[in-house]
Amino acid sequence: AGDAGTGTGARVCVAAIGVSPALPASQLATARQVAAAIGIPLWEVPTDEGRVPEYVANEGESCLHCKNTLYETLRAVADAGVRAASSSASSSSAQGSDG
């Protein structure tokens, strides 16, 4: 959860998961179930670790390269999501003050 930047103390919470052939279907299903159970959206974000030569080479550090790709992708999603949530919350606040 993160502050939406509205100054109202409002919080925006979403779940995000990187999706690729490396992710077991059971883990994706669990993520969907947990998000639904707690009532938050789940963003399923494709990752492309298969394009990283060191990951494909599988010389003992594939997990490192997979995680790096996952975290870089999720960081970009988080940054974009926080900006979108802030913008949306600010827009809602502005609309509320006009009425």
Which residues lie closer than 8 Å to 84 by C-beta, 6 or more apart? none
- Tell me the average pLDDT across 82-94: 51
Provide the number of structural domains found in the chain: 1
pLDDT per residue over 25-67, tens digit each?
Answer: 999 999 999 999 999 999 999 999 989 999 999 899 888 889 9
The pLDDT assigned to 77 comes to 87
SS (H, E, C) 41-99: CEEEEECCHHHCHHHHHCCCCHHHHHHHHHHHHHHHHHHHHHHHHHHHHHHHHHHHHHC
Which domain range does residue 20 map to?
2-98
The pair of three-digit structure tokens given for residue 52, joined into one six-digit string: 């990283």
Confidence at 68, pLDDT banded by 50, 70, 90: very high
The pLDDT assigned to 12 comes to 75
Residue 89: HSE in the Cβ half-sphere, 13 Å Cα cutoff: 18
pTM metric for this prediction: 0.66
